[in-house]
Structure 1
Amino acid sequence: MKWQRAVATALRPLALTHPQFVVLAGTCWLGRHGRTPSRCQLAEHTGMDAMIASQAARALENKELITREQDPHDTRIKRLRVTAEGVQLARRAIEHVEAIDHDHFEAAPDRAALVEALLALAPPPETGDNDH
């Protein structure tokens, strides 16, 4: 909870909630890797609840930090893309969150063991099969 409060405090001046940060950073990361995800794909990638991811994406779209574009092959699917302003804000937010991560986890006596334990708790990697 201490880490979560620190992240929320760091994101507040950037006018981002933690779910919005996760959606923005996740969409940026996927975009840098040549993907324009649907909301379902983004939720799967980030491990977020699909409804929370959808609400966060809608808020980011209202702030003009991401756009939703029609999929050229399936009119039911909207693809997420980060705007130039969104990329700039994501970079700043990521720097803030990484600084908190460093401060919070640097006390771990065995970082490799900590990373291994956290990875064991993470969901399995996405398959990329879900286009909804």
Structure 2
Amino acid sequence: MSKEIEFQFKSPNDSPGYLLGQLTMLWQRKLKTVLDPLDLTQTQFVLLAALGWLSKKNNTVTQVDIANQSNADRMMVSKVLRTLEKKNFISRQEHQTDTRAKVIKLTNAGANVLQTALTVVENADKDFFSVLGNNLSLFNQNMFNVIEQNKEN
């Protein structure tokens, strides 16, 4: 007879990690549906959106800035940015003062696809999270708190 497995949680629905995993998979599936027609993956969208946000405040956005903004691995960001450059959604230019860094900019095609993607993703988010009703702000604040508490410095 095999050893009985001990779980800290009485059921999967008591486990925040399990529930977050389930929620994430469902949400990613929904986003895939709206991003596929734009020839974007969710990761590509996230990095384009990070670039869009950062570009509003700074003309010299670097790969490191994008990685930090999106809480993403720098090597993965590098690979995805190369793909976005091949799709002509971004350009990479030499940094004026840091020879190791590249300045990342949205192209016109990238700005157009990002604007369309923002619309479809924001509408998908509204639909997906509509079940929360008036609790959406509290849900968002709780997610933000968990993210801030667990960020690597």
TM-score scaled by structure 1?
Answer: 0.88
TM-score scaled by structure 2?
Answer: 0.76
- Deviation of the 1:123 alpha carbon: 3.7
Unmatched runs of 5 consecutive residues or more in structure 2: 1-24
Which residue of the partner structure matches residue 44 of structure 2?
20
Which residue of the partner structure matches residue 78 of structure 1?
102
Richer in helix (by share): 2
Equivalent residue of 1:79, what SS?
A: strand
- Identity, in percent, stands at 32
Pick aligned residue for 1:114 from 113, 119, 139: 139
Following the alignment from structure 2 to structure 1, what is the Cα–Cα distance between the partners of residues 98 and 68? 19
Following the alignment from structure 1 to structure 2, what is the Cα–Cα distance between the partners of residues 113 and 75? 44
Asked if residue 93 in structure 1 is aligned to residue 126 in structure 2, the reply is no
Which residue of the partner structure matches residue 51 of structure 1?
75
- Deviating above 6 A after TM superposition, structure 1's stretches of 4 or more consecutive aligned residues are none
Which residue of the partner structure matches residue 130 of structure 1?
none
Equivalent residue of 1:73, what SS?
A: coil
Say how many residue pairs are matched.
125
Task: Identify the structure with bigger relative contact order (alpha carbons < 8 Å, sequence gap 6+).
Answer: 1
Unmatched runs of 5 consecutive residues or more in structure 1: 125-132
Equivalent residue of 1:42, what SS?
A: helix
- Deviation of the 1:53 alpha carbon: 1.3
| Cα RMSD after superposing both structures | 1.6
Following the alignment from structure 2 to structure 1, what is the Cα–Cα distance between the partners of residues 78 and 62? 10
The structure with the larger Rg is 2
